[in-house]
Copies of this chain bind each other. A is one copy, B any other.
Amino acid sequence: MVREPTFLILAAVAAAPLHGYGILRSVEELSNGRVRLRAGTLYTALDRLVGEASLVVDREEVVDGRLRRYYRITDVGLDALRLGVEHFEANASAARGQLARRSDVRSR
């Protein structure tokens, strides 16, 4: 199963192409400040995701002398993201079920 940082990176890029640092901020927003990606995690993940064909480089821009490399999600990446969503929800639902059973036992 895809891990949290990778999942959030895919989610960040899912809406529209975004560059590395933009993804960093987007992940922080999407997780309500809970997840702050390390630069190392981000850029190595980005390379890995491009290698897996989940992302492709959309374009490069130079703003104020700084390079911005935009990444776009592919169908492969969308499949991985949607599958991840299903797994996250299924796991959460299963755990809730178990917690509910626990309450049942207690209230007997």
Q: Which residues of A contact B (CB under 8 A)?
A: 1, 3-4, 7-8, 10-12, 14-16, 30-32, 34-35, 78, 81-82, 84-85, 87-92, 94-99, 101-102, 105
Shortest A65–chain B CB gap in Å is 30
- A89 to chain B: closest residue by CB: B92
How many identical chains are in the complex?
2
Provide the bound-state CA to CA distance between A31 and B16, in Å: 32
Chain A, interface SS category: helix
Could you name 5 residue pairs across A and B whose Cβ atoms are closer than 8 Å?
A7-B91, A8-B91, A8-B94, A14-B95, A81-B95
Task: Establish whether residues B92 and A88, one from each chain, have CB atoms under 8 Å apart when the complex forms.
Answer: yes
Known contacts A31-B94, A32-B90, A88-B92; 6 further A-B pairs (Cβ under 8 A)? A1-B4, A4-B87, A7-B95, A11-B99, A31-B90, A88-B91
